[in-house]
Structure 1
Amino acid sequence: MFIQVTLSLLEGFSMTLKIFLLTLALALPLGLIISFGSMTRLTPVRWLVRTFIWIIRGTPLMLQLIVIYYGPGLVAAWAATKGGNPIFNMIASWTVPERFAAVIIAFVINYACYFSEIYRGGIEAIPRGQYEAGQVLGMTRIQIFFRVVLLQVVKHIVPPMSNEIITLVKDTSLARIIMVYEIIWNAQKFIKSDGLLWPLFYTGVYYLLFCGILTLLFRYIEKRLDYFR
């Protein structure tokens, strides 16, 4: 039974890992783009982006998962009752997204907003003199950002970013809300079928090992960036 449980949890953990890696790969660059929007000099754009960040950070990820998965279908059903209007007909043709796609969309949007605030804090922490020195050397704003500012920003954001990324590992368990079969879902099967509770606690070993590896990785990255002191 132990081997059977272990194999089942490994299968669920592969889904957990897939959600984690895809979210990270998409949310990190998207968060940087959003941070630029929250710092832009265009007031309407800045306030629109900041309002969006406020909504996403102020509502539970579980609620966002439910809205993204069930929302299009509910809106399409409502539009189908209207009929006769091309716009309503187009909305009525919407289909419910794939469960896994809904999970990735929700996670990416949520974590991109959190990452954007970390990016913004890191960028604004760089002294203004760094930008002025780059301008004196004849560098463009893009060159200043990528050659002077970005590496210093990375130094500032590694600790808070590591916290968010480790939180992401544990948040992947929310995918079971819309029946995406991650590791905890697989553990719960044994409660229903065999009355076994220990597989649920066994999942903690997987999370602890994975978070431990990430912790060591981020410590290594911080040490590598010590030359910015």
Structure 2
Amino acid sequence: MSWEYLLGVMKPMLEGAQTTIFLFLLAIIVSVPLGFGVTLLMKSRFKPLAWIAHTYVYVMRGTPLMLQLLFFCFGLPLLPGVGEYLVFDRFTAAALAFILNYGAYFAEIFRGGLLSIDKGQHEAAQVLGLSKWQTMTKVVIPQMIRVVLPATANESITLIKDTALLYAVAVPELLHYAQAAVNRDFRLTPFLIAGIIYLLLTMVLTLFFKSLEKRYTFE
């Protein structure tokens, strides 16, 4: 096995890794605030809003991500009446599925974090004259972050691995190019390289979240 072969295989795989990383960043940036917003809606006193939020979380967590990917990529255009307005390119449709799926999981993580905050914290904030907004931003959210960081880190690592599902809807990403190289050359080397790239990505995420945990532990 020559260096020329390795470099020739790695070049398209690294290009595919760019798609993997882009989808991951897009999904994280959008799904985290979406999840927090859904968490607040789940606690809403307006029952219809709370019911919609709970139903969304139940459906997205109760069905496979693969099924959701297939639905958004191939099912949306088939919806009667509105399907013609819901035709997206494969990456956009897949990104929408990832965002909605992980938004639901983050909503549950954040809900657990909020439930861990003692009610006495809210009462103490009221005694100090803090508004609801100040209580949420200065008291509740900082404590919630400490609680949810480990689960958020775990979910983020799962997300970077789940991006491989793009292969099933024909979006060229890391695994797509690895599989193409294996089929062409009848060698396992591309799979090994893909595994190393995934391990490096998860290592970066692990180190990032460990630094965050240390920061919030010592604050």
Q: State if a TM-score over 0.5 links the two structures.
A: yes
Match of 2:193 in 1: 202
Q: 1:125 to 1:92 in 2, by over 3 A?
A: closer
Percent of aligned pairs with the same amino acid = 38
Alignment equivalent of 1:54, drawn from 58, 75, 78 = 58
2:105 is equivalent to residue 119 of structure 1: no
Q: Which has the larger Rg?
A: 1
**Alpha-carbon deviation of 1:223?**
1.1
5+ residue gaps, structure 1, are 80-87
Match of 1:129 in 2: 120
Deviations along 1:157-176, whole A, 9 cap, x unmatched? 00001000000010000011
CA root-mean-square deviation: 1.3
CA distance in 2, matches of 1:202, 1:227: 38
Moved over 4 A (4+): none
**Alpha-carbon deviation of 1:92?**
5.8
Match of 1:85 in 2: none
Number of aligned residue pairs: give it.
215
**Alpha-carbon deviation of 1:93?**
3.5
Deviations along 1:121-161, whole A, 9 cap, x unmatched? 11111111111111111111111000111111100000001
Counterparts of residues 179-194 of structure 1 (less than 5 Å): 179-194=170-185
Match of 2:37 in 1: 33
2:25 is equivalent to residue 21 of structure 1: yes
**Alpha-carbon deviation of 1:43?**
2.2
2:207 is equivalent to residue 216 of structure 1: yes
Match of 1:226 in 2: 217
Alignment equivalent of 1:159, drawn from 120, 140, 150 = 150
Question: What letter corresponds to residue 225 of structure 1 in structure 2?
Answer: Y
**Alpha-carbon deviation of 1:48?**
2.1
CA distance in 2, matches of 1:20, 1:202: 19
